[in-house]
Amino acid sequence: MNKKIGVYGSIANFIAVLCFALSMLFGFQEGSYFSSMFIAFSFVLMMCGYADCAEKDVKAAGYVSVAFSVIYAAVILLVYFAQLTTVRLNDLTEQAAILLDFQQFGLLFNYDLLGYGVMSLATFFAGLTIKARTKIDKGLKYLLMIHGVFFISCLIMPMLGVFKPDSPTWIGIAVLEFWCLYFCPVSILSAIHFSVE
């Protein structure tokens, strides 16, 4: 059953990332917010799969990946649940919108970047659990660990005030589509990894 949780979590993650990518392409904000929540749910399952499959000498890395995935999921779920409820269903004051509306690049947008930074740490530690015996596992290990580098930019950019409400929308969409193209193989290779483990 443990391996199946990793496999199903990885497949669900792939579907959620794909739905997110399509929602972004077609400008369906609510769809991107909703699918982001399922990226978070499925990501926790995927990271638990890495912790379970980790050999004894790398178990701690697996546990760290789970801990960071839970932090990521908690932050992301708060951000996107707020977008789908409070922001969407209420007439916010200008100041409240600046803080809560994701599109205003305020507080919740910054929390979102923090969440994805923590997600990057989770993938880095998940990568440490893989004993690369096959080409697939070697590729997966590199993808996971390289993804960990995004932690730095996700942490620093909000502090530098890089994102502004008047920034061109297409830049953000292009960056997110690139992330989706990067992360889809992570999900697929993770499902393969857990199914043959």
pLDDT at 7: 96
pLDDT at 165: 77
**Per residue in 140-195, pLDDT tens?**
999 999 999 999 999 998 888 888 777 777 888 898 999 999 999 999 999 999 99
pLDDT at 33: 97
Q: 146, 182 in Cβ contact below 8 A? A: no
Distance CA 76, CA 45 (A): 15
Question: H or E stretch including 193?
Answer: helix 169-196
For residue 167, what is the DSSP state?
S
Give residues with Cβ within 8 angstroms of 79, minimum separation 6.
102, 108, 111, 112, 115
Per-residue pLDDT at 2 exceeds 90: no
Amino acid (1-letter code) at residue 81 = F
pLDDT-derived band at 34 (thresholds 50, 70, 90) equals: very high
**Per residue in 76-129, pLDDT tens?**
999 999 999 999 998 889 889 888 998 888 999 999 999 999 999 999 999 999
pLDDT at 98: 86
pLDDT at 49: 96
